[in-house]
Structure 1
Amino acid sequence: MEKQELDHLLTQLMGKPAQARQFQFKTALALMEGRNVVLTAPTGSGKTWAPVLPFLYSWLNQIPFADRLIYALPLRSLASGLYQSTRSALENAGLLKDEKNINGSISVTLQTGNHKGDPFFCGDLIFTTIDQLLYSYLNLPLSVTQKLANVNAGALLGSLVILDEVHLLEPRRSFATVLEMARRLRDFTSFVFMTATLSSEAVSLVAKEMQAVELSVESDELLELPSHKDKQRTIRWTGISLNAHNVLEVHDCGRSIVVCNSVQKAQTIYRELNQAIRKEGYSPKIILLHSRFLPSDREEYEKELARYFGPDATETDCILVATQVIEAGLDISADNLHTEVCPANSLVQRAGRCARYAGDRNKGTVWVYDVEKDASGRDKLGPYRERYTSALIISTREKLSGLPPVLMDFYFEQRMVSQVHGETEFTAIQKVIQTLKDRRKQVNNVLRFGRAECGRDLVRDVDSVNVLVHAHPENLNLNLPWQYLSVPRASLWSLKTYLESGEQWVAKVPVTTENGDDDEAIVQWKEVKSIDELVLGSWLVSLNPAFSSYNKAEGLCISIPGAEMPMQLRPGKKTSDFDYCCEMFAQHLKAAVDACRIQLVKNGRALKAISQTYQIDEKRFETVCLLSTALHDVGKLSVKWQNGIRSWQKERDPGHAAFLTGEPLAHSTFTWETDREKNRDPRYFRGNHACEGAFAVFNCLVDWCAYNFTMETYDGIATASATSIARHHSAQAKGLAVFQLEPGARDWINQALATAGLSDCEVAELLDSPDKRDIEDFTGSLINPESKDEKFMPLYWFLVRQVRLADQAALASKEGGD
């Protein structure tokens, strides 16, 4: 790969002449060689494109070094901003694959708490949050039910995983889990860690642990960057708390950005500014931006920002009030940036939105304000109240408080970050690396038992919950892909007084009762009675508009009464997940196997990594994937299951061609809107089938793997395969019920295998009628990350992902399903 080739690609993406910078080219070379990278580059340098360019280049030249790119950032706003800008760039180059251009090369997706566009990480270039990534790795994904928790981890194998702004991660929680994940997946996944402000001492530690190339922007290249060339940006410590008067006093009809440490503070400043301009006759445009807006409203405001603050802005006299959402990812710049004091590395990120551009917009002032005090005189630290981050704020304040106005260039930033964070970061990360074995044990325990509450200790303590504001949530169909808002659970504490008054309901949560592997769950809404129940409870909360509200200008306002939140469906999603067409067992088996074959073509790097790591034949492992997919529904061939589905189909649609064949069925005709109540009739109950199917074929899988793999690997692969079948409907399934297979089950399976092109994988012996000992021992036969099976966990993740996605694809195919 020559640099000129990257220059040409970048020119296409930008829609104008452009050249890749040296650090971008060096990053590209390292990744193409299969190396991990730790990259340090300042805000505005173009570090985003450093890993994205080689990924695109390799795909376009049909020499991919990764099956997909997963780009993870600490804040959902950053992910959303980069998603939008990258989509636009690919659209410029005619490379974007979407509903408008199905012939494009690259699909770009966004998966965050507020925009669940790719819950299973199926895109080619995926933007997400580090929370979403880590919870997916832990098999505790934030945006799908716990039943689906084992689908996403397999997406990491064969991927290029970018972790941007890693300096914002808390060392004892998310950073430690990131490093543990990188160590476990070292042989399967490429990693790039990127930072603007992580201290040099900490960067070297991380690079050594990652066995990575350490890269940075050289001094001469830095001074030529438009964002740093001839920059005249001054930083001033004010020593007072932030208020609207301070902002308006120096605004002078220019461009001002106000950054607050919390949504509540930002909303307060926004209201104060509006009151002040009405009272004093000012006329600036005021925009509020934070994480609690519906995506449609947020996108509207972000488009407005380009007119006032973007690189080609033509309008002035605007004040943007925001939170940490603008610390990275948004290409905007102001003349005056007002910010509450925060850790030095975050302060540098915020300051990157001032005097960002060359020419007449390279001058500006960063005004730093002290945090407010509570009634007891203590600092109100908001999201920085934990001991680790509160100490950093205090240190940053000490460094600034005695400082006269001074030029804030890159070297000043490096010194300040090193003084505040250097020793602390080095010590914290060194301890993390020394205790990664302990973190591995914690992760394995979570993987084994699936306890969501443990994830908070491994990712971050600020747990989030989906929220809506609705007076009658029981009227909502939760199977529809509603657009919720995701907020920290701690933000709901302001409702405590209302909950204690008990005059009327303040919040409700859905309570779900499962109804078998395939049947839709029964949902009832329960009133929340205490603050503990509210902040420690459900994945979804409906707030009463008598106590909370939503409005287009301010977003979600907790503890302020008003209007309901508009209920919007996420774009491009099905309106129901529970519509099926009648289809035969053999028909579904073939459709699933065909879908799996297509998937495997898209996972070439993962397959190669698995075959090399476990020293197994790649084609034989592909057969394991296909065979596991083919056998995933064997449990449906039980007498009870077939009796139940035939009874339903006979009443629902007895003339359907698949039913009339007399062959075993995999699915029946079912429409959620009209059939869900009737389907609860005990006459149609079929029970579970996943664990039963795994039990039935377990010996067949062991025999096949023993014949095709070595003594060291066959048992682990067979266990992973059986577990992928047992858990293809529920990630923690382990209960085996008594069942008896239909007399012709073996023949039906072998005929279907032959039709699907797997005649060499005939099953010889099926097990059924498990006794008490079989049932007790079954859980122990499944994969256990706290045992010798640990090394086969990545293989299991890949395998179960292929089975579950193929099952879904088969249901949506024309051959079978709806």
Structure 2
Amino acid sequence: MFENYYDIIGFKKPREIQKEIKNVLKNKKENVLVISGCGSGKTEVGHYALLNWNGIRSIFVEPMKTLATSIQERLNEYNKILNINEKWTIQHSGIEEDKYLENKFCVTTIDQVLSGWLGIGRQSFIRGKNIVQSNFVFDEVQLFQPDKALLTTINFLDSINSQGNKFLIMTATMPKYLIDFLLERYNMKLIEAYEETIADREIYVNYSSKVDYLQINSRTESQIVICNTQAQQEEVYNNIEDKSRCIILNSKLLKYDRSKIESKNLLEDDVSEKSLYKYFGKYAKKNNKILIATSIVEAGVDISANYLYSYACPIDNFIQRCGRCARWGGIGQVVIINSNDIVYDSKIVKKTIEFFADRPSLKFTWEIQKAVVTNILNPFYMDVINEINVRKNKYNLIDGSRGKLIRDIQNVNIIVDKDISFNSFKKQSISINISVLEKLSKNNALYVIDYGKNRNSPVQKKINDDIIGQTIVIQGNDCIYDELGFRYKEGSVCNTFQYDSNATDKYDKFNFDYKEESWINHATSVRALVKQKMLNDRFSSYVLENIDDISNVCGLHDIGKLDEQWQGPKWAGAKSILLAHFPFKKANTLIFKNRNHRAIGYIVLKNNLEDRILLNVVLQHHGRIISNNHDIIIDKFGLHKNSMLCLYEYGFYGGVVKEGNDNISYEEILTPKDTEWNNFLYIVGTLMESDIESINLFHNTKFLG
């Protein structure tokens, strides 16, 4: 497929790894590991592999959301040139364009992939069922947190490798120990570059104990300064004499302001004077601009200057930063600056500094880069990535803790608005650490959306464990937003943030209410939808061999709602017709929340079903149950007197438990550590998708989901 791929997209002379991938992909059974320097065409190798594998879905995985946008733009350019009709969507916490990863082509982050597979988050099972049907490219895996995201990724790859999904891993900075570990574990084919990416490119590195502002201010050429923190950015900016030279880029800028800086459309008349690519892109004219950025530019961004300054960081991150210096040829000068911040592992940073401090004016060749990565990082990865820790991580999959399994980021999304309402949540937001929020909370009330407490207006919230990841609106005391982005500043008052032009009206769900829908109507509708989807997907032999039983049980997912108290006339308005859904305005929500229809459904069917997967589909169909090694306690229940007639009409004649107060042992609950997980994930995700689709059809709307 696409025999002349590189020629068509504009690579008249394919590079070393681009030639090799063609030979490797002749064997469709092999997964691939690509080791090659920055700017060597790895993105095109990944794109070519996914097109040739031609799976149901292709997912390009980035370590950070800041890398995803530029990759999406490039891949869509290639699809257009190749006359591929489908476009690449993008999905991450900042842009929700494809929240279920259901498009044929999608660029996303490792957080989205792992949280979907783990079933963490609202409706994540739908994302998960699409994930287990996909082929993957994992880009810049050295930026995955080794003791969390990387270990979890290995367990994820174990699960999809066994069912035949294809994946390609690519990086410029992987120590030999990890290379060997992956090659042996997955019988991967290694494609490794041995030549310099650009023949006439030379990079020289020097160490400095501090920033030489005299040198930066006096130099008339373009320069890049990469900082580890926003505080370092502010210090550098304050020491630049001519502020008009400065372009600031970090994750604390609002989306609209970042888009002006990161725009690649240089043909517009109103192109911003802060344009990253106008002054640092491949075709930039000579200029004196100074880009002061954080680590968001260290990978996946096609910019370059011949002079680059980097605060000290681990060797693998530093090599990525060097990729922004003389990227397309020539002589580049890089200075690594001592840093006392605690952003990175201090031991690895110290070894990185020592390496360059002992070797002034080092010509930093590709061979030296590979050698120093192995020298510094091999011991670290040997301690972290090994069979014992992989097994520990697999056991921790039971917990479903994002902090343990993906990354321990204690962040919230902040919005500033003087007049707080539901409309405030449609404005642009910025991610900040919980420590900053604690400072802001002294002189700001924190407002959130709380579905249970108030459906008419936002409610005030105190800082606690469940605030992580939420979107919070404040009035803007003790903070500032300017060219350096959003940050805490005591005594300042921040202006209101702008609306997000692409924001969906997700908070309009407060105007939505269910219609009364009979249980039998919803059950038969879901059963038909599930069966059709499974026939189309043909996911596994287990699904195909048991498709009638699976679709029948999926139709029974709300059997717990046949409980007499759930159907009680005092709050549901039911008389003789048993309901699956009813208007919220008729509901006593306290009874509704305390009546666990999923657990009741599990007990009702337990004696009739021996299939653990199907019982868990009923139990977890609204989301993953994380029991923390505790049993699920069920209050006494009893099926409505008309429930058996309803089940007979559905076509279910099996024995059921009509009443009781049995408990569910935590050992009965399926988790990602179980071998049945991917089949379960596919089925329960298909059920949730069908459930939403059925409700939409009944309401004649596309609102839900």
TM-score class normalised by the smaller sequence: 0.7 to 0.9
* C-alpha distance in structure 1 between counterparts of 2:544 and 2:11, whole Å: 45
Kept in 2: contact 1:469–1:550 (CA 8 A):
no
* C-alpha distance in structure 2 between counterparts of 1:29 and 1:807, whole Å: 45
Kept in 2: contact 1:157–1:794 (CA 8 A):
yes
1:123 counterpart residue number: 103
Residue 394 of structure 2 is aligned to residue 440 of structure 1: yes
Kept in 2: contact 1:72–1:162 (CA 8 A):
yes
How far does residue 260 in structure 1 lie from its aligned partner after superposition?
A: 0.3
* C-alpha distance in structure 1 between counterparts of 2:149 and 2:362, whole Å: 34
* C-alpha distance in structure 2 between counterparts of 1:28 and 1:683, whole Å: 61
How far does residue 346 in structure 1 lie from its aligned partner after superposition?
A: 1.1
SS at match of 1:235: strand
* C-alpha distance in structure 2 between counterparts of 1:627 and 1:11, whole Å: 51
Tell me: CA distance 1:331–1:149, structure 2 relative to 1, closer, same or farther (3 Å): same
How far does residue 255 in structure 1 lie from its aligned partner after superposition?
A: 2.5
Matches within 5 A, 1:185-196: 185-188=160-163, 189-196=165-172
1:566 counterpart residue number: 498
1:101 counterpart residue number: none
1:337 counterpart residue number: 308
* C-alpha distance in structure 1 between counterparts of 2:348 and 2:426, whole Å: 40
**1:243-278 Cα shifts (integer Å, max 9, x gaps):** 65442222x1x32211001123224423443xx215
How far does residue 646 in structure 1 lie from its aligned partner after superposition?
A: 8.6
Tell me: CA distance 1:424–1:669, structure 2 relative to 1, closer, same or farther (3 Å): closer
2:580 counterpart residue number: 666
Tell me: CA distance 1:697–1:299, structure 2 relative to 1, closer, same or farther (3 Å): same
1:708 counterpart residue number: none
* C-alpha distance in structure 1 between counterparts of 2:90 and 2:532, whole Å: 23
**1:335-393 Cα shifts (integer Å, max 9, x gaps):** 211111211211110010111114xxx3332222222xxxxxxx2x2311xxxx21111
* 2:470 equivalent among 530, 539, 553: 539
Residue 597 of structure 2 is aligned to residue 689 of structure 1: yes
Residue 303 of structure 2 is aligned to residue 324 of structure 1: no
SS at match of 1:576: helix
Kept in 1: contact 2:445–2:460 (CA 8 A):
no
Tell me: CA distance 1:550–1:747, structure 2 relative to 1, closer, same or farther (3 Å): farther
Matches within 5 A, 1:587-626: 587-597=521-531, 599-600=533-534, 603-604=537-538, 607-608=539-540, 611=541, 616=542, 618-626=543-551
Residue 183 of structure 2 is aligned to residue 207 of structure 1: yes
Tell me: CA distance 1:72–1:316, structure 2 relative to 1, closer, same or farther (3 Å): same
Moved more, 686-695 or 286-295: 686-695
SS at match of 1:207: helix
Tell me: CA distance 1:270–1:766, structure 2 relative to 1, closer, same or farther (3 Å): farther
Tell me: CA distance 1:175–1:140, structure 2 relative to 1, closer, same or farther (3 Å): same
1:636 counterpart residue number: 561
1:417 counterpart residue number: 373
* 1:277 equivalent among 226, 242, 245: 242
How far does residue 107 in structure 1 lie from its aligned partner after superposition?
A: 4.7
TM-score (norm 1): 0.74
Kept in 1: contact 2:35–2:192 (CA 8 A):
yes
SS at match of 2:4: helix
* 1:111 counterpart letter in structure 2: Q
1:525 counterpart residue number: 460
* 1:187 counterpart letter in structure 2: S
Tell me: CA distance 1:569–1:626, structure 2 relative to 1, closer, same or farther (3 Å): farther
* 1:469 counterpart letter in structure 2: V
Moved more, 207-216 or 348-357: 207-216
Tell me: CA distance 1:315–1:321, structure 2 relative to 1, closer, same or farther (3 Å): same
* 2:305 counterpart letter in structure 1: A
Residue 23 of structure 2 is aligned to residue 23 of structure 1: no
How far does residue 40 in structure 1 lie from its aligned partner after superposition?
A: 0.7
Kept in 2: contact 1:38–1:207 (CA 8 A):
yes
* C-alpha distance in structure 1 between counterparts of 2:468 and 2:507, whole Å: 27
2:200 counterpart residue number: 230
SS at match of 1:109: strand
Kept in 2: contact 1:355–1:363 (CA 8 A):
yes
Tell me: CA distance 1:140–1:322, structure 2 relative to 1, closer, same or farther (3 Å): same
* C-alpha distance in structure 1 between counterparts of 2:465 and 2:601, whole Å: 39
* 1:179 counterpart letter in structure 2: I
Kept in 2: contact 1:261–1:340 (CA 8 A):
yes
SS at match of 1:241: coil
Residue 67 of structure 2 is aligned to residue 72 of structure 1: no
1:261 counterpart residue number: 228
**1:672-716 Cα shifts (integer Å, max 9, x gaps):** xxx6xx75578999944333333334444x2xxxxxxxxxxxx4x
**1:304-359 Cα shifts (integer Å, max 9, x gaps):** 2222222233463322211111111111111211111211211110010111114x
**1:724-765 Cα shifts (integer Å, max 9, x gaps):** 12222242284544444444444444545xxxxxxxxx3113
Residue 672 of structure 2 is aligned to residue 783 of structure 1: no
Kept in 2: contact 1:628–1:803 (CA 8 A):
no
* 1:40 equivalent among 22, 25, 35: 35
* 2:337 counterpart letter in structure 1: Y
How far does residue 545 in structure 1 lie from its aligned partner after superposition?
A: 1.1
Residue identity (%):
19
1:732 counterpart residue number: 625
* C-alpha distance in structure 1 between counterparts of 2:696 and 2:635, whole Å: 29
Kept in 2: contact 1:310–1:331 (CA 8 A):
yes
2:138 counterpart residue number: 163
* 2:508 counterpart letter in structure 1: S
Tell me: CA distance 1:680–1:87, structure 2 relative to 1, closer, same or farther (3 Å): farther
SS at match of 1:292: coil
1:347 counterpart residue number: 318
Residue 480 of structure 2 is aligned to residue 549 of structure 1: yes
Matches within 5 A, 1:296-315: 296-303=256-263, 304-314=275-285
* C-alpha distance in structure 1 between counterparts of 2:552 and 2:282, whole Å: 54
* 2:218 equivalent among 241, 246, 249: 249
* 1:290 equivalent among 242, 250, 253: 250
* 2:304 counterpart letter in structure 1: S
SS at match of 1:465: strand
* C-alpha distance in structure 2 between counterparts of 1:233 and 1:568, whole Å: 41
Residue 363 of structure 2 is aligned to residue 428 of structure 1: no
Alpha carbon RMSD of aligned pairs, Å? 3.6
Kept in 1: contact 2:564–2:640 (CA 8 A):
yes
Tell me: CA distance 1:485–1:116, structure 2 relative to 1, closer, same or farther (3 Å): farther
* 2:250 counterpart letter in structure 1: H
Q: Which runs of 5+ in 1 are unaligned?
A: 96-103, 372-378, 651-661, 703-714, 753-761
Moved more, 435-444 or 569-578: 569-578
Tell me: CA distance 1:669–1:536, structure 2 relative to 1, closer, same or farther (3 Å): closer
Residue 79 of structure 2 is aligned to residue 90 of structure 1: yes
Kept in 1: contact 2:639–2:659 (CA 8 A):
no
* 1:443 counterpart letter in structure 2: L
Kept in 1: contact 2:59–2:106 (CA 8 A):
yes
* 1:720 equivalent among 584, 595, 613: 613
* C-alpha distance in structure 2 between counterparts of 1:423 and 1:54, whole Å: 32
How far does residue 558 in structure 1 lie from its aligned partner after superposition?
A: 2.6
Kept in 1: contact 2:411–2:468 (CA 8 A):
no
2:361 counterpart residue number: 405
* C-alpha distance in structure 2 between counterparts of 1:403 and 1:686, whole Å: 67
Kept in 2: contact 1:234–1:408 (CA 8 A):
yes
Kept in 2: contact 1:591–1:815 (CA 8 A):
no
Indicate the structure with greater helix content. 1
**1:60-102 Cα shifts (integer Å, max 9, x gaps):** xxxx3xx32232222221123212322333244443xxxxxxx
**1:468-494 Cα shifts (integer Å, max 9, x gaps):** 234565x2369x66653333435556x
Tell me: CA distance 1:586–1:521, structure 2 relative to 1, closer, same or farther (3 Å): farther
2:47 counterpart residue number: 52
Kept in 1: contact 2:356–2:362 (CA 8 A):
no
* C-alpha distance in structure 2 between counterparts of 1:111 and 1:816, whole Å: 27
How far does residue 19 in structure 1 lie from its aligned partner after superposition?
A: 6.2
Kept in 1: contact 2:571–2:587 (CA 8 A):
no
Residue 508 of structure 2 is aligned to residue 576 of structure 1: yes
How far does residue 133 in structure 1 lie from its aligned partner after superposition?
A: 2.8
* 2:68 counterpart letter in structure 1: A
